[in-house]
Structure 1
Amino acid sequence: MARVVVVHGVGRQTAGPRALHRDLYPALLDGITAARDGEDDGLPGPDEVAFAFYGRLFRGPEEVLSPTPYADARDVGHGLESDLLAAWWQRAAAVDERVVPPDEEVLARSPRWAQRAVLALSRSRYFAPVGERVLIGDLKQVSAYLTDPAVRASVQQAVAAAVTPDTRVVVGHSLGSVVAYEALCAHPEWPVRSLVTLGSPLGLRQLVFPRLAAEPPGAWPGAVEAWTNVVDRGDVVAVEEDLRPLFGPRVRQVRVDNGARAHDLECYLTAAATGAAVLAGLGD
């Protein structure tokens, strides 16, 4: 029975719960070991860690040659999608000297602004390796979760299916932090003691925060006793690093250094700060 449940972020549509466990369970153990200064006795066993998987919802039809539906800057929708893209661009320019900052024309949404935004982000440390269609695909996954009730309900069901009476810690990365927060708000009866958010966009005041399925937005997540928010200074997705202005002073804010992989889940999991937060929730 899972004592720790990890909720992944965007871009995992070609994975699965077993593949995520195989690839990321060791990283979680490494973070716990780092928090213990190398001591590795009493680590959570494989059956005590589960990965709530919802990525398949965003996978294209089997007959499509690529599992990621093709999209480019021309497919960026008005409203939330364009606003998120602009927010990522502004954040990337603020933390990465290689990214040209947006000018007033772009912020006013000139006809070619999306192409210019994607071109600028393609120079960033985070987005450069993924390519345009993956960038736009990730953008659309965030938009779909926040605006499509059916998608949101299906994702929430995946989390609920992973949580057991033994679950004490929920870890949410990127969009998964939004999913985890909403799930805990909706289920105060769950025995979860600790929420750990990694590279979270929950602090986006105008785009994510007002769309949260919580009453009121900013409410404390259910019966959680401790909430630790872990952020890399260069994480483009975590546009607003500090969640305390929106969610209160009880949030423990921690900054880590993930190097060139600022938003990478594996890097966040291996951080001693993440391991310490998981240990605290487990009571170990």
Structure 2
Amino acid sequence: MTRIVGVHGIRQSRTSQAQLTRDWLRALNRGLGDVGRPDLPADALELPHWTGLLARGANHLGPDDDLFGADAPMSEEEADFVAAALAEVVRQDDVDAVGQLGTRTLGLPQLWPARLNPLLLAYDLRFPRGGKLFVSMMREVRFYLYQPDLAAQVRAMIVEAFDADTSVVIGHSLGSVIAYDLLRRDEIPRDRAIGVRTFLTCGSPLTVPAVRRGLGIADGEPLKLPGDIAWVNVFDPGDFITGGVGLSAVSPEITDARVDNGIGDPHSAVRYLRTTPVVLGIAGSCR
């Protein structure tokens, strides 16, 4: 009985589906315990390990290769996408400050275009050391958005995780983009989607207009889900992947829930999963 389908985010090629499932369940049950709710059974969560599909599709050579890290050359198309995304999340006062400071101290990877330097430094002023991680994330998001055949394979794998008892979908990071893409396309067979009541997104890059445009959503167009699924977006203002903002400004149908994941790794999946908005969303739907 699968009551929750989870869609994980980036950087999961070095782990397994079993380990990810254990980590997610442990975090969810910790959060449920904090609000006085019983633990989820071991079979309540299905978490497809989709990351290998993108890796193979990009001619991934092995688990130690990072196709989107600082040592991987960046194409002009990637640079254009990353630059657009950065321009949409940096603040003008930080850009102005960079103009006064110059970019001598940035020390960016040599394989990244120099035109990204001022934008990255501006982002680092707000999220120290977050700029490079944001770029890496945007490169992987773009790979999903602009490789339609691979993206369809990822969605097909996730569809198989649903059954008639599924009531909650949780998407973290890039996983929130994939999960939203799946739900909005209405690709889940009706007999498996009929019980879905709640969509929970955590640390979602859907806040970035360039990402939404990659899904074919025009600027100013609200995000929508089919049916009467309640959408709760959980975000930490210190999360460098989201730009520190929520999604309610993008769509009135989305309820934002602000949390504090601490300073160590505010984008961490397990930190998001144990927060009160996430576990209350699960507790209210998994009955």
Normalization by structure 1: what TM-score? 0.78
Within 1, Cα distance between the matches of 2:153 and 2:69? 23
Return 227-236 or 17-26, whichever deviates more.
17-26
The within-5 A match list for 1:85-96 is 87-88=85-86, 91=89
What SS is found at the alignment partner of 1:162? Answer: coil
**1:114: which partner in 2?**
116
Say whether 1:274 aligns with 2:278: yes
Match of 1:246 among 250, 256, 263: 250
Q: What stretches of structure 1 of length at least 5 have no aligned partner?
A: none
**1:75: which partner in 2?**
73
Say whether 1:263 aligns with 2:267: yes
Q: What stretches of structure 2 of length at least 5 have no aligned partner?
A: 104-111
Equivalent residues of 2:2, 2:165 under 8 A apart:
yes
**2:168: which partner in 1?**
169
Within 1, Cα distance between the matches of 2:63 and 2:203? 31
**1:20: which partner in 2?**
20
Kindly provide the amino acid, as one letter, of the partner of residue 57 in structure 1. Answer: L
Q: How many residues align?
A: 267
**2:82: which partner in 1?**
84
Return 53-62 or 177-186, whichever deviates more.
53-62
Match of 1:56 among 38, 52, 65: 52
What SS is found at the alignment partner of 1:246? Answer: coil
The structural deviation recorded for 1:13 is 1.8
What SS is found at the alignment partner of 1:170? Answer: strand
The within-5 A match list for 1:121-270 is 124-125=127-128, 127=130, 137-187=136-186, 189=190, 190=193, 191-205=195-209, 207-212=210-215, 218-239=222-243, 241-248=245-252, 250-260=253-263, 261-270=265-274
Q: 1:204 to 1:155 in 2, by over 3 A?
A: same
Q: 1:136 to 1:214 in 2, by over 3 A?
A: closer
Within 1, Cα distance between the matches of 2:113 and 2:224? 41
Residue deviations 1:14-40 (CA, integer Å, cap 9, x gap): 222112012221001112222x2xx24
Within 2, Cα distance between the matches of 1:264 and 1:65? 21
Equivalent residues of 2:24, 2:270 under 8 A apart:
yes
Residue deviations 1:34-82 (CA, integer Å, cap 9, x gap): 2x2xx243x3211111112211124466865824247537723334544
Q: 1:103 to 1:171 in 2, by over 3 A?
A: farther
Within 2, Cα distance between the matches of 1:7 and 1:57? 14
Return 230-239 or 218-227, whichever deviates more.
218-227
Equivalent residues of 1:3, 1:169 under 8 A apart:
yes
Within 1, Cα distance between the matches of 2:129 and 2:171? 19
**1:46: which partner in 2?**
42
The structural deviation recorded for 1:232 is 0.2
Within 1, Cα distance between the matches of 2:64 and 2:96? 31
Residue deviations 1:244-263 (CA, integer Å, cap 9, x gap): 23222x31111000111111
Kindly provide the amino acid, as one letter, of the partner of residue 256 in structure 1. Answer: V
The structural deviation recorded for 1:234 is 1.0
Within 2, Cα distance between the matches of 1:122 and 1:78? 22
Q: 1:253 to 1:49 in 2, by over 3 A?
A: same
What SS is found at the alignment partner of 1:278? Answer: helix
Q: 1:64 to 1:280 in 2, by over 3 A?
A: closer
Alignment RMSD: 3.6
Within 2, Cα distance between the matches of 1:259 and 1:89? 26
Within 2, Cα distance between the matches of 1:214 and 1:122? 28
**1:10: which partner in 2?**
10
